[in-house]
Amino acid sequence: MVPLAIKGVPAVQPTRQVKGRDGMAPSFHQSRGPQEHGAAAGGGEMVPSPQMGQACIKAAYIKVYVRYVHGAVTKTATNQPCAVGAFPNRLPYEATMGYKRPDFGEMAEWSIALDLKSSDCHRSVGSNPTLSVTRFGKRRQRGIMGIDFVKYHGLGNDFVLIDHRDRPDLGIEPEAVPAWCDRHRGIGADGVLFLGQRDGIYQMRLINADGSEAEMCGNGVRCLAKFMQELGIAPEGNQYRVQTGAGLRELFVEPDGQITVDMGPPRLQAAEIPTTLVAPAERAIAVPLPVADREWSVTAVSMGNPHAVVFVADVGALDLAAIGPQFETHPAFPQRVNTEFVQVLARDRLRMRVWERGAGATQACGTGACATVVAAVLTDRADRECTVELPGGDLRIRWDEHTVWMTGPAVRVFAGTR
């Protein structure tokens, strides 16, 4: 175990210990509601030694705030771990808390400070301060609390969203994502999106339903904007800036609630996609590709992730489940590929079905809709501004000389804890 150590105070062993559920003996006990001195619901008390030297905890991942009682007044810190100035009058008494368990294998460590302004409060450290712990575990077992999430969808392309800004890790392993996304035994989703923050910049990571990681997702990033609103993160004007695996993206909240995303310029050289359909410095436009015993005309586009766009006479006639996986894993695309099958209805209207890398057939794909319009312009099938019809609804796509713009909805479905 890793102890709670208070700088400037001699380290001693705890004087009270409560036996843990799994046979361990930490000085942290499970609780089902508020405890004395206002411990967090679902959390518990950490009872330190009189000298506040050391205490052990039973939790895999923790978020910490401190409360102490001084007379009739209860002082409460914000639940923002490591926040400088979380306590208004702090002395140099700092605590570092962490725990490592073999079955989780990762360390979670937070630093906090105790507000010990007055000498009376200082003396209370030697009597009965209370540390309250809200615990966030990777999975519900051995009494560990679960992960809070919210589910959103963008035109039926659905995601589980998790706020991990206050965590050193994602909270769940990528290998666990398929179980979360299972539509019969889990929450059901096309992927899990994680909101992080580093150096003041918001971060997005997407783990697909098969456990692989995607660089970018247009529907997902719109859902992220709505999630940030729900979390109380105010935009700058009407704009959010989010770092993705494909680069920095700007998101704009429209007056009608829809989200417009600057998706960045398309990448067209074969090496950027990547594909071996043509030489690395060339563009793969209307290149023949044999798949499933026939030849298809393929245009390759990257919107931060790889796409193969195929124009057909009738998208409804395709056996997507049969041919989609063969495109996804074709050796001409060494990082696998998202495949869009597109029917041209008019120069400003396209109908699309998609087989997504790592997710299969989905109701919509934002980056795929962008790639579709780019490919349609490159092959002189459509204008630069189009409505793209998807099984889940319509997206508005515009490709100007600098970037591709996508506008569409994002809808909250429900929230829960797993």
Catalytically annotated residues: 217, 365
∠ Cα 372 373 375 (to 5°): 65
Q: Which residue from 225, 226, 229, 149 is spatially nearest to 189, judged by alpha carbons?
A: 149
Secondary-structure breakdown of the chain: helix, strand, coil percentages, each rounded to the nearest 5: 15, 35, 50
12 close to 51: Cβ distance less than 8 angstroms:
yes
Supply the DSSP symbol for 351: E
268 forms beta bridges with none
Alpha-helical regions (H) of 293-410: 320-328, 366-378
Structural tokens at position 19: 């036996």
Q: Which residue from 89, 99, 109 is spatially nearest to 27, judged by alpha carbons?
A: 99
Please provide the distance, in angstroms rounded to a whole number, between the alpha carbons at the two ends of the chain. Answer: 26
Q: Which residue from 157, 154, 52 is spatially nearest to 112, judged by alpha carbons?
A: 52
Alpha-helical regions (H) of 258-363: 320-328
Neighbour count for residue 89 (Cβ, 10 Å): 10
56 close to 26: Cβ distance less than 8 angstroms:
yes
Query: Phi and psi (nearest 5°) for 376?
Result: -65, -35
Long-range contacts of 335-339 (CB under 8 A, 24+ apart): 335/274, 335/306, 336/306, 337/275, 337/300, 337/306, 337/307, 337/308, 338/305, 338/306, 338/307, 338/308, 338/365, 338/367, 338/368, 338/371, 339/307, 339/308, 339/309, 339/310
The residue type at 132: S
3-class state of residue 399 by DSSP? strand
Cβ contacts of 9 within 8 Å, gap of 6 or more: 51, 52, 53, 93, 125
Evaluate the CA torsion angle 48, 52, 56, 62 in order and state its sign.
positive
Query: Phi and psi (nearest 5°) for 407?
Result: -125, 130
